[in-house]
Amino acid sequence: GQNIDQPTEMTATEGAIVQINCTYQTSGFNGLFWYQQHAGEAPTFLSYNVLDGLEEKGRFSSFLSRSKGYSYLLLKELQMKDSASYLCAVREDSNYQLIWGAGTKLIIKP
């Protein structure tokens, strides 16, 4: 069956680095997305990985290993505004649907 696992909640300190993991079990794979969602707001797109390796975009990086069914989102130089939920989503095949994880709530402390 389809399954995406992420930790429910993580806590980190302002200025530090945090890694949010996502593991997936799907019948196919055609891309993995990371979204950020602040409380009460809509998800906003952060990154997209379809090939193995690291994609860097400013303070945020996303890594993918297709053979392991694993991705992580790395946030550097944490700021208080990074307090949000981070959603991992997988596209199984060439259709338009995404399978979503339940999200990881990241709490940043001063």
Nearer to other proteins, 75 or 90 (CB): 90
Q: State the residues that interact with other proteins by CB under 8 A.
A: 4, 8, 31, 33, 40-45, 48, 50, 87, 89, 91, 96-98, 100-103
The residue type of 9 is E
Q: Minimum distance between the CB of residue 13 and other proteins, rounded to whole angstroms? A: 26
Cα three-residue angle 17-39-55, rounded to 5 degrees: 40
> How many other CB atoms sit within 10 Å of the CB of residue 70?
14
Nearer to other proteins, 78 or 91 (CB): 91
Return d(Cα 71, Cα 61) in angstroms, integer: 11
Lookup: tokens for 23: 């593991």
Nearer to other proteins, 14 or 52 (CB): 52
